[in-house]
Amino acid sequence: MTHPARVHIRRDSPENSAGRFVLYWMQQAQRARANPALEEAVRLADERGLPVVVGFGLDEHYPDANLRHFAFMLEGLAETARELEERGIGFVLRRGRPPEVALDLARHARILVCDRGYLRHQRQWRDLVAERAPCPVVEVEGEVVVPVEAASDRAEIGARTLRPKIRRLLDAFLDLPDERGPRRRAAADLETLLDPDDPEALLATLDVDRSVLPVRRFRGGTSEAEARLARFLEERLEGYAEARNDPGRAATSELSPYLHFGQISPVAVAVAVQGSGAGSPQDRAAFLEELVVRRELSCNFTWHVEDYDRFSALPGWARATLSAHAGDPRPALYDIEELEAADTHDPAWNAAMREMRETGYMHNYMRMYWGKKILEWSRSPEEAFATALRLDNRWFLDGRDPNGYAGVAWCFGLHDRPWPERPVFGKVRSMTAAGLARKFDVGAYIRRVDALLRAEDGKQMTEDG
DNA sequence: ATCGGCTCGCGCAA
DNA sequence: TGCGCGAAGCCGAT
């Protein structure tokens, strides 16, 4: 059952008596399963004997989105549309700014239900819809385990201050929504652009940035996400606490692209891991730390810090120390084109950049090293911050996400503490190639990336080599 | 190989 | 008001 704290009445106006259906404006939670917003729409529709229509606004000019993101998203939406169809729920995809698509469909809706996002524009879209809809608007949180405002009313200083607050509430928010049975079809007079059996046809017509190509490594969709979760539980949870930080080993869940597009529910993942017989209690705790504490600390950051995508969002001590060292000589200087081309003197860094560029993903430990080096190799910390964010948002399938903003900012001192003063970094935690080599087999990571790149090229397609 | 020191601010005990 | 301690650090001393 959905926890009542997930549900917010955003507009408390009389129901639209001319409404023919309950509208679920789907934007963030792009899935047909374990979706509390969808199930709330179904419940409201059942009470009124109405059909449910799911509407999605596809914005070709969505901030920083490119062909790679759209290909992954449309694969997922096609599957979601097919699953909704099986439940007798219509799926309508239209081009346009999401709030405009939602408001247009809302003219025929008795009630509008929406989901939730934690970035600036996602909040603005929902504010606009709540302000202008001709019917009640209900917002349902389904993208974090513990809703951000239930967990904390302020910008947390670090994981250590958020962790106890999350822990207290965790069990109450492992709440999967009840799913109701099939229903009668919605009125079929609503035009949609997506053929659920051929998402590529729509992709081909989109006026989007085509300079970033789709990847083979990640196929979009809920069933793919669930297959990865199952593989993680079977093969990777055992030993996760110890292996997760070694970039040379494929020991992580690699679920972040699916979580970013809402193709899998974080609550469903948490429940599956907690209920799994695999791994030790430490392994399960280590994964829940990543999935819940760290991921939701990122949402706390973008929710409470207005300028989360700028240098000014960093804590005062970090800004002060980085500025004090802005004039230090750099061991190397690269511009954004050289970085993007993975053309530096550092083989481990280059491998990380290629993993990002060619496969849309990077091992989490390398994300830290990658960002720390951009700080070290740029003319100023402000420029480094902007460069890291640009690359993050452009190449990652899970970019343009609270985790991306918090992850980049962490490299510049966010959610961290001061460390001994060093050139360029000041008191911000540094990382070095020597440290990387001390802890891990860097060659193993480089070889693993080489294999991933060959798979992208299609030169090595067999599973067992 | 392991250990302490580096540094700031929160949260809790006193 | 004092004290412990923290996402993954580094370095130099044992």
Residue by residue, DSSP assigns A203-269 as: HHH--SB-SS---SS---SHHHHHHHHHHIIIIISTTHHHHTT-TTS--S---HHHHHTTSS-HHHH
Q: How far is the CA of A342 from the C1' of B1 (A)?
A: 35
A421 CA to B12 C1', in Å?
29
Q: What is the pLDDT of residue A421?
A: 94
- CB < 7 A to strand B: residues 141-170, chain A: 157, 161, 164
Strand B at less than 7 A from CB of A421: yes
Q: For the residues of A80-147, what is the DSSP string, one character each? A: HHHHHHHTT-EEEEEES-HHHHHHHHHTTEEEEEE----SHHHHHHHHHHHHH-SS-EEEE--SSSS-
Distance of C1' in C2 from CA in A216, Å: 57
- Whether the Cβ atoms of residue A139 and residue A126 lie closer than 8 Å to each other: yes
Q: How many whole angstroms separate alpha carbon A180 and alpha carbon A229? A: 24
What letters, b where the CB count within 10 A reaches 16 and e where it falls short, cover A64-77?
bbbbbbbbbbbbbb
Q: What is the pTM of this model?
A: 0.96
Our measurement of CA A158 to C1' B11, in angstroms, reads: 13
By C1' distance from the Cα of A439, the closest nucleotide is C8
Q: How many Å apart are A193 CA and B11 C1'?
A: 54
Give me the residues near strand C, CB below 7 A. A 158-160, 163, 244-245, 290, 294, 297, 364-365, 368, 410, 415-417, 419-420, 429-432, 434-436, 438-439
Do residues A110 and A71 make contact, with C-beta atoms less than 8 angstroms apart? no
Give me the torsion for CA of A413, A416, A419, A424, rounded to 10°: -10
pLDDT at residue A187 in the model: 61
* Distance of C1' in B1 from CA in A241, Å: 22
Say if CB A140 and CB A36 are below 8 A apart: yes
Strand C nucleotides within a 7 Å radius of protein CB atoms:
5-11
Per-position pLDDT tens, chain A of length 465: 999 999 999 999 999 999 999 999 999 999 999 999 999 999 999 999 999 999 999 999 988 999 999 999 999 999 999 999 999 999 999 999 999 999 999 999 999 999 999 999 999 999 999 999 999 999 999 999 999 999 999 999 999 999 999 999 999 999 999 998 877 766 667 899 999 999 999 999 999 999 999 999 999 999 999 999 999 999 999 999 999 999 999 999 999 999 999 999 999 999 999 999 999 999 999 999 999 999 999 999 999 999 999 999 999 999 999 999 999 999 999 999 999 999 999 999 999 999 999 999 999 999 999 999 999 999 999 999 999 999 999 999 999 999 999 999 999 999 999 999 999 999 999 999 999 999 999 999 999 999 999 999 875 444 333
DSSP states of A450-461 as a string?
A: HHHHHHHHTS--
Which amino acid would we find at residue A187?
A
Distance of A418 CA from C2 C1′ (whole Å): 21
CB A364 under 7 Å to nucleic chain B:
no
